Amino acid sequence: MNAFMFEIISIVIAFIAFIFAGWLYKWVEKQPSSNAKIAQVGGLIRQGAKTFLNKEYRVLARFAGVAAVLILVFLPSPIWKGEYMQNILMALSYIAGTVFSAIAGKIGIQIATIANIKAAEAAKNGIKPSFMAGFRGGAVMGMAVVGSSLLGVSAVFMITGDTTALLGFSFGASSLALFAKAGGGIFTKTADISADLVGKVELGIPEDDPRNPAVIADNVGDNVGDVAGMGADLFDSNVASMAAALVMAGALDALSGAAINVSMVFCYAAIGLLASIIGVAMAKIGKHGSPTRALNSSTYVTTAIYGVLTAAATYLFDFSWRIWGACIVGLLVGVIIGIASDYFTDDTKKPVHYVARASKSGPAFTVLSGISYGLLSVLPAMIGIAVAALAAYKLCEPMGDGYAMFGISMAAVGMLSIVGMIISNDAYGPIVDNARGLAEMGNLGDKVLDITDELDSAGNTVKAVTKGFAIAAAGLTVIALLGAFMSEVNTAAAELGVEGLVGFDIINPMVFFGLLIGAAIPAVFSAMLMLGVDRNAQRMVGEIHRQFDTIPGLKVGDPNAVPEYDKCIEIATNGAIKELIPAGLMAIIATLGVGFIGGVQAIGGFLTGNIVSGLLLALFMSNSGGLWDNAKKYVESGHEGGKGSDAHKSAVVGDTVGDPFKDTAGPSINTQITVVSLVSSLLSTLFLTMSLF
């Protein structure tokens, strides 16, 4: 079979995924719902999420438009050099990347705001139907994201036949993800923190109490942050890993004349989606089964299927077993890193117990112990990524020049192969979280709340694992992108007839210069996002106070007193959009600055510093945040004094600190790293020819 056939197969499997997603969508929609209150609140959530998304996409469309024009003029090389077709293709690929990402996010929101209602109502009939509604809702998102990334990459590659255009597509996906993740992250935590602060802490009313004017915004936030944002993030990583692998595969194939490496990338990616489809279809839970186990076992099933099918394909199509090995190493390390993050955030393990106990001495100890364990949690993941990269490299090195870096990129593809399953699990979380809120607001009673609580808690546990996984995958992907960057620079250098790169020497002061500045960027980026949440939450707290003070009967729970939910949604929306731009632009401008000052060597260092410190901070923040969240829940379930105790108050402080850590800054860093890597690759020719030094 030739490469073209594999591209066709990829497209076919992408469409199978879409059809499956459509079936799941219908299935979810068909589930019964009757409660008027839930329907009403669910409608508000849906409306709020749509409003936010539309506003956000309008702003991003303007940004993307400007970027597309710049790409048209300057990339891959200035348009006045005459090769304008390349520039047009690049700009179109970029736009396609943003549009695909936006559509996937839109579909995710669409289904999530139906599935939450269904899961809430289904909980009346037990854990099984409720779980299935949540999980299948999440799976729609999973299928949509992976299907459209595979379709997009295959289509762009088939049409343009150019790997550089793929980087344009990937950059489109990334730039949208950067803002979607950051914007959604700011929105969700603004609402969450403000609702908790005034509701739970000041007034002592329960979470999800409909009196709280921010409660709908909080539920909207789960959708726009965790569903749309996380979807955009993993869409981005998935596309970037394929793009990086294809850039290198294309270069290798051009040398050998055969298209075997490109074929392999498409074949493995298609199998990954297929395995996820099977895994999702097979997911089930017993009548009294554990939702956490159900989610995890689907992941393991998918992993196993992927391993077997890729081995079969490798045998059948005579692919290299070495590259298969690299791919499997990536996959296994991804699972191991997920398990390691689970250790640091699971409420049956030592770290959560330690933090809960420390909370008895006051909030400072909650914070200190959580930060400490978060910092410790960095080690296993960093070792895992380091070992995966080294093993993939060493496995493929004997195959010849260039194969070693290609091996690393295939490890990233392997790690991301089960991403359809990962997104399904991940989107399940906010759906059942919302379902819990709806059950509370619809007065479905304590038995139903117990069920939704259990589903929600499983969502939290799995979320920690998938976040660890997402960060690790991004880590490996950007290492591969570093290789892609070098490959792009060398192609450009060959065309220009100047000396290419053999590597980035740390002893070279330009590399070191870039390294130090690159390392500072994720710190600044996350600080800007957290300050954005902080500022925005302060505005919203003011608004909640105003409503409680001016709407008669609201505080005491008069059923006729209706809070103005939309005001809170508006504040969260406007604030998020206002705060997301500067942080994203800062990262891009810093890249341009370093590149035009120090050239490609400085950029090599810059990317490296950015990856290293980005991984460090993202892992630290995500895991600390997850740990605090679960420590609070652990105390609430009756340990160390239980609800209302001093330990609980401290644990709530920890959780509040953790909120922007784990849902705003931590997971946005991923995207920041990818964007910066792609900007560098795209501008490699300019940095090579136009830098100050």
Q: Does 585 bind a second copy (CB under 8 A)?
A: no
Q: Does 333 bind a second copy (CB under 8 A)?
A: no
Contacting range for a second copy; rule: CB under 8 A; set: 21-29, 118-126, 140-148, 534-542: 534-542
Are 474 and 174 within 8 A, CB to CB?
Answer: no
- Amino acid in the structure at residue 192: D
Cβ count within 10 A of residue 39: 15
Cβ count within 10 A of residue 174: 32
Least CB distance to a second copy at residue 318 (A): 27
Q: Does 188 bind a second copy (CB under 8 A)?
A: no
Are 482 and 607 within 8 A, CB to CB?
Answer: yes
Q: Does 510 bind a second copy (CB under 8 A)?
A: yes
Contacting range for a second copy; rule: CB under 8 A; set: 427-435, 445-453, 506-514, 570-578: 506-514
Q: Does 403 bind a second copy (CB under 8 A)?
A: no
Pick the closer one to a second copy by CB: 9 or 198: 198
Q: Write the secondary structure of 176-236 as one string of H (helix), E (strand) and C (coil).
A: HHHHHHHHHHHHHHHHHHHHHHHHHHHHCCCCCCCCCCCHHHHHHHHHHHHHHHHHHHHHH
Pick the closer one to a second copy by CB: 212 or 425: 212
Give me 403's structure tokens: 């194969």
Nearest to 262 by CA among 5, 621, 540: 5
Are 434 and 116 within 8 A, CB to CB?
Answer: yes
Pick the closer one to a second copy by CB: 197 or 323: 197
Contacting range for a second copy; rule: CB under 8 A; set: 12-20, 54-62, 420-428, 504-512: 504-512
d(CA 665, CA 647): 26
Give me 432's structure tokens: 């059942």
Least CB distance to a second copy at residue 686 (A): 21
Pick the closer one to a second copy by CB: 179 or 513: 513
Q: Does 534 bind a second copy (CB under 8 A)?
A: yes
Pick the closer one to a second copy by CB: 154 or 610: 610
Nearest to 171 by CA among 227, 230, 100, 105: 100
Q: Does 368 bind a second copy (CB under 8 A)?
A: yes
Q: Which of 470, 486, 580, 683 binds a second copy (CB under 8 A)?
A: 486
Q: Which of 5, 66, 88, 376 binds a second copy (CB under 8 A)?
A: 376
Nearest to 601 by CA among 522, 475, 506, 683: 506
Pick the closer one to a second copy by CB: 201 or 255: 201
Q: What are phi and psi of 402, to 5 degrees?
A: 90, -20
Contacting range for a second copy; rule: CB under 8 A; set: 239-247, 287-295, 481-489, 671-679: 481-489
Give me 378's structure tokens: 């960095």
d(CA 364, CA 58): 42
Q: Which of 66, 258, 308, 390 binds a second copy (CB under 8 A)?
A: 390
Least CB distance to a second copy at residue 331 (A): 19
Q: Does 692 bind a second copy (CB under 8 A)?
A: no
Nearest-Å Rg of the Cα atoms of the chain is 24
- Amino acid in the structure at residue 352: V
Contacting range for a second copy; rule: CB under 8 A; set: 83-91, 143-151, 377-385, 440-448: 377-385
Q: Does 483 bind a second copy (CB under 8 A)?
A: yes
Are 191 and 217 within 8 A, CB to CB?
Answer: yes
Least CB distance to a second copy at residue 512 (A): 6
Pick the closer one to a second copy by CB: 164 or 664: 664
- Amino acid in the structure at residue 629: D
Q: Does 405 bind a second copy (CB under 8 A)?
A: yes
List of residues 6+ apart from 140 with CB closer than 8 A? 21, 24, 25, 28, 107, 108, 111, 115
List of residues 6+ apart from 581 with CB closer than 8 A? 59, 63, 179
Q: Which of 507, 549, 552, 559 binds a second copy (CB under 8 A)?
A: 507
Q: Does 584 bind a second copy (CB under 8 A)?
A: no
Contacting range for a second copy; rule: CB under 8 A; set: 35-43, 274-282, 380-388, 425-433: 380-388
Are 153 and 243 within 8 A, CB to CB?
Answer: yes
Pick the closer one to a second copy by CB: 160 or 369: 369
Nearest to 45 by CA among 188, 156, 182: 188
End-to-end CA distance of the chain: 48
Q: Which of 133, 371, 465, 580 binds a second copy (CB under 8 A)?
A: 371
Cα dihedral 328→334→336→342 (10° resolution): -160
d(CA 355, CA 432): 26
Q: Which of 428, 504, 634, 687 binds a second copy (CB under 8 A)?
A: 504
Within 189-218, the residues that bind a second copy by CB under 8 A are 193, 197, 201
Helices (H), 563-665: 565-636, 646-660
Q: Does 530 bind a second copy (CB under 8 A)?
A: yes
Q: Which of 389, 418, 458, 583 binds a second copy (CB under 8 A)?
A: 389
Pick the closer one to a second copy by CB: 274 or 471: 471
Least CB distance to a second copy at residue 484 (A): 12
Pick the closer one to a second copy by CB: 335 or 472: 472
Contacting range for a second copy; rule: CB under 8 A; set: 69-77, 128-136, 218-226, 501-509: 501-509
Pick the closer one to a second copy by CB: 11 or 486: 486
Q: Does 383 bind a second copy (CB under 8 A)?
A: yes
Least CB distance to a second copy at residue 392 (A): 8
Q: Does 364 bind a second copy (CB under 8 A)?
A: yes
Angle, helices 363-376 vs 565-636, to 10°: value is: 80
Pick the closer one to a second copy by CB: 106 or 578: 578
Within 592-651, the residues that bind a second copy by CB under 8 A are 604-605, 608-609, 612-613, 615-616, 620
Contacting range for a second copy; rule: CB under 8 A; set: 51-59, 535-543, 544-552, 568-576: 535-543
Contacting range for a second copy; rule: CB under 8 A; set: 91-99, 280-288, 522-530, 633-641: 522-530
In eight-state DSSP terms, residue 105 is: H
Q: Does 414 bind a second copy (CB under 8 A)?
A: no
d(CA 453, CA 192): 17
Are 341 and 327 within 8 A, CB to CB?
Answer: no
Least CB distance to a second copy at residue 358 (A): 6
Q: Which of 12, 494, 516, 562 binds a second copy (CB under 8 A)?
A: 516
d(CA 218, CA 193): 9
Torsion over CA: 242, 248, 254, 256 (sign) = negative
- Site size toward a second copy (CB under 8 A) is 80
